[in-house]
Amino acid sequence: MKNVLLVGCGRIAGLNEDDLYRKKPCSHIGAYQAHPAYDVKGVFDINPKSCETFANKFGILGRFNNIEKALSEIKPELVSIAVPYDFNCEIVHLVAQHPNRPKMIFCEKPISNSLKNAENMVRVCEENKVLFYINNRRLTDIYNKLEEIYHRELDGEAITVNAWCSSGLHAIGIHMIDLLRKIFGDIEWVRAKIEKEKVNTLPYSTNFKVDDPRVNAHIAFKNGIIGNFFNTALTTFTYFELEVLCRKGKIRVSDNGNILELYKTRTPSRSTLSYSLVRKKVFKTQNAETLFAKIAKELVHSNYDDCDHPLSAKHGLESYRVLDALIRSSESEKTVWING
């Protein structure tokens, strides 16, 4: 049984379980309580009232207003962090350096609010031999299917990729950056333009901040593919979509990441117009396990955190490096090269 300490008592920590639109489990505590290998022994929140309400709601005995006391009393094997990302760095440092530090930390995305902090977080966990994981979308069925059919059906021969998502770079953009890195590998350079229109709030995102940048960018992968990444807060709806154009077809992910379509060249006839595409397969997320259920399964036996691990904080860091480069490029209006 893994003793868990949950840091943060908000929506992604657990309150999202009340959202009827979400398939369950859809939160940290939902995932741990649905899996027999975990025992959430305590919760900590900077807001004592939130902590108390959350602990009562999920039947957790340990409720703390001091994280060090929580670590000393619970001696957790896993600390799960779900607070606004500005605080991730400070909390990871405190947890990783504590005498009762856990074997592993699982932390919400984005890894942090600056590249320097992100690098320091990975370093402090390495120095203290704490396995460090970041929540991302790499275990999502449809993206694994996308990767599989890209290689199997289209020979992994992309010409370009167009990726679009809503909200800001820290709120949603980081998911797309990480997903693009998963499919096409590391990114060499970016050239970005900032979205200038001020947006104060978004109807579909409580985590969006007015100063979270949005960009329209060219991104060049080390494998030679140059793609387009467009991240905007100007829509009134949430979306997360991409299209991979290949020599022998294309793959489209639409419906906010829920539908995947494969198009391949048809057998041509005499007509030149017959050199076109036909839709071959459609995949939908239907009865698939939720991402959080998969994450709980993945972390049970996990004992390494290098880049072969889908949740590795090293991916979180490398994806943040791209985010940072996008911001610097949009500020300087120059191409920014990324040195991993």
Ligand X SMILES: NC(=O)c1ccc[n+]([C@@H]2O[C@H](COP(=O)([O-])OP(=O)(O)OC[C@H]3O[C@@H](n4cnc5c(N)ncnc54)[C@H](O)[C@@H]3O)[C@@H](O)[C@H]2O)c1
Q: Give the binding site for ligand X (CB under 6 A).
A: 7-13, 45-47, 50, 82-85, 87, 108-109, 135, 206-207
**Minimum distance from CB of 316 to ligand X (Å)?**
11
Cα separation of 295 and 276, whole Å?
40
Contacts of 264-273 with CB under 8 Å at 24 or more apart are 264/153, 264/154
Provide, rounded to whole angstroms, the least separation between the CB of residue 93 and ligand X: 12
Q: Which residue is nearest to ligand X (CB)?
A: 10
We find the least distance from the C-beta atom of residue 258 to ligand X, in angstroms, to be 15
Instruction: End-to-end CA distance of the chain: give it in Å, rounded.
Output: 37
Q: Output the CA torsion 50→52→55→61 (10° steps).
A: 150
CB 106, CB 223: distance < 8 Å: no
Instruction: Enter the DSSP assignment of 138.
Output: T
CB of 332 to ligand X, least distance (A): 26
CB atoms within 10 A of CB 254: 14
Question: For residue 16, which amino acid is it?
Answer: N
Listing DSSP states for 182-212 in one string gives HHH--EEEEEEEE--S----BTTBSS--TT-
Q: Which is nearer to ligand X, 50 or 265 (CB)?
A: 50
User: For ligand X, which is the closer residue by CB, 18 or 127?
Assistant: 18
State in angstroms the smallest separation of the CB of 205 from ligand X: 8
Alpha helices in the chain (DSSP H): 28-33, 48-58, 67-74, 88-97, 115-127, 141-152, 174-184, 291-300, 313-332
Instruction: Name the residue nearer to ligand X (CB basis): 4 or 83.
Output: 83
Identity of the residue, 295 or 336, whose beta carbon is nearer to ligand X in the bound complex: 295
Choose between 85 and 221: whose C-beta lies nearer to ligand X: 85
The partner residues of 2 in beta bridges, in order of sequence, read: 38
| Closer residue to ligand X (CB): 47 or 332 | 47
Residues 6+ apart with CB under 8 A from 149: 251, 260, 262, 281
Which is closer to ligand X, CB of 110 or CB of 227? 110
CA distance linking residue 95 with residue 296, whole number of Å: 20
Q: Cβ of residue 1: shortest distance to ligand X, in angstroms?
A: 25
Q: Which residues of 178-193 are buried (b: 16+ CB within 10 A; e: fewer)?
A: bbbbbbbeebbbbbbe
Enumerate the β-bridge partners of residue 164: 230, 241
State the nearest-atom distance from the C-beta of 22 to ligand X, in Å: 11
Which CB atom, from 85 or from 263, has the smaller least distance to ligand X? 85
Question: To the nearest whole angstrom, how small is the minimum distance from the Cβ of residue 155 to ligand X?
Answer: 32
Task: State the nearest-atom distance from the C-beta of 46 to ligand X, in Å.
Answer: 4
Nearer to ligand X, 84 or 340 (CB): 84
